[in-house]
Structure 1
Amino acid sequence: MRFNRSVGAFEFPHTATALLLAVNIVVYALTLQRSGMPAPSPDVLLRSGAIYSGALARHEYWRLVTYAFLHASMLHILTNMACLVWWGGPLESRIGTSYFLLIYFASVIAGALTGIFTHAGFYFSVGASAGISGVLGALLCLKLLNRIDLPASFFVINLGLNIVIAFLAPRLDWGAHLGGIVAGMAVCATLNAFEIAGPKLMRCKFPEFIKLNLGVLFVVVAWLTDFSLVAMLAALVALIVAVKGIDIALSVRRGLAWTVAMLAAGNALVAGAATILTLPGTNGRIELPANLVPWAASVLRRLIEIASSAPAIATLIVLVVVFALTQLVYWPELKRGLSDRGGFAAAGFRAERARRRGL
């Protein structure tokens, strides 16, 4: 993916922005359907993943993310999605999908934590505002670092609109908004510093698919370990080792093919571990979501029963399927790596790392 310093004030939604937009709309429709009302009811929002003051005490850490996909009204989701498209397009176009998602979800989590710790009494919140504020914060950071050519009027208009909305919507959670925008700026500045120091730390510039794959693996491992601090630290160390291993692999002839193979193996192992930890037949537990379409629930229940009756075979099938599917999805990169007899791809990755300074 090529990144342009100069981006328009409006960019057509890219991959992550479009995906977040679609998921938010689908989730809002589902909460409406479950509520049977003109707007999602507080009870449905709470059961669907809203963040509230007791979430951390009950170790419901998943709410730190899920609340950002829930919205309280049609106006709420329309304003948030408009801002997501307006701000998300330029940022994702500038820094790429993987860094965009990292900034977005870091801002979502920071907004939830800020909201909890800045409210003394009962706290209940939903909405993508913290993540979207983080996107605006990242754009502002890039502007202050002189790494993006958006006009100053872009920020004057958007920050001005936020101030106006603050007066018109007194129930707006500005603690979450502030936490999101600060996190967006901080993560963006950290990524920029990493990219500046990149040539001293890394040999090669990673393609987007590698960064996305590693990010997904880290999140899945964190989820499988219930976000345990010790397990997450171990996963972080493993991630750092994997990043450096891939960096070395990419710098040699046919290294791209080896990298695809390593990602396929990592995906398969994590998928196999997820199967072992969740199947009822392996002391795990799978709960089907409420209000599933009856035929879908029936099919899923039957598949779970079959897999639980032979967990070892089911795990082996998952390992093989995920390994093969990963290589199929990454076939263009695998083919490019296998045909790289002269090491041209490796030379390109090294040159890109040496050429780039910052985001």
Structure 2
Amino acid sequence: MRVVIFDTFQDIIANFAIVTAFLFMTSQVFFKKRGLGEPLTWSEKFIIGLIGGLLGTLLIIFTVSFDNTILDFRQLALILTALAGGIVPTLITGIIISLMRLFAFGSITTDTLIATWNTMLIALGVGIVCSMGFSYWKKWVYSLLICNVLTSIVFFLILGSHGLSPTVLFVLMMSAGGLFSAHLALFLEKAKRYSLRMERDATVDYLTGLNNHRMFDLLFNKKLSNAIDKNQELTLMLVDIDYFKKVNDTYGHPNGDSLLKQVGELLKVTSRNFDVISRIGGEEFSILLIECPHHDALVIAERIRLAVQDHPFELNDGNRINITISIGVASLSRSHQDDIIEQADLALYKAKQNGRNQVFSNLKLHES
């Protein structure tokens, strides 16, 4: 008896290991770069269904033997699939598990047909439950309840009065497995959320959502090297909000932050959609214009300057104010390949020195 219990316990541990490996692989490998909360495409739903079907098939292979009855965790694959993708992937998983059970694991009998119908009913049930607006833990509780009730009925239909012992073991096994899987899935989701946030914070400005200074440096060096190698046009704009300290002193830092966000949005709207926009300092932004001749860059810069000048910026109390910006523009040339940032910075300084709210070109620096 002790040996039987030990073997059963080993089988359960093996199933837990399989579930753990699959949860880790799907969360941290297959869908590692996928943002949380993004709507699934049909191809992603299909892939999730296939992965769930593979998991369910493995759980059928590594069965738990007890009292001449074979038990498995295939229902956990259905619940995990339903939580990940909703009803469509769950039905795909259910179909795969059912087909494998019918045609790959023994002959087709009345018992296997009953088990197949039970799998599809559970797939439909948990798919519906996990598609509804319940909390995470309610989805798990309701899904486990569906699995336990429907499978218990199947045990009694197939085994009659001998179905009590395997039913009790299955309910305990599924409840423990469900609790384990729920906690593990939640932990992996939190770990992924933290990882994505850390990656985002390393490259994105927390306030405006634009590239931060670190990302600007990486992209600038890449674009500069590419432009030099291919003899392409490259122009850099440095944009600075005029008298921003006065804005903070007069209206407070929360309003200053709000203005920075709005300026960032306006820069995105008025620039070309493939230009690289970054926030590189407190009130300083940069725009890297790819394959843009200098005279075209000056036209874009003037358009941006006028857009900011004419835009009513809203404060947190609903009042509106107007601000202006100064822009320094420098383009890549054979004589100034390595100091385009310095050239743009000098042009910006001249724009400030000449009265602000203007665009200044680095070409004027060499003319003077």
Does the TM-score normalized on the shorter chain lie above 0.5?
A: no
TM-score range with shorter-chain normalisation? under 0.3
Q: Which has the higher strand share?
A: 2
TM-score by length of 1: 0.24
Structure number, greater radius of gyration: 2
Q: Which has the higher helix share?
A: 1
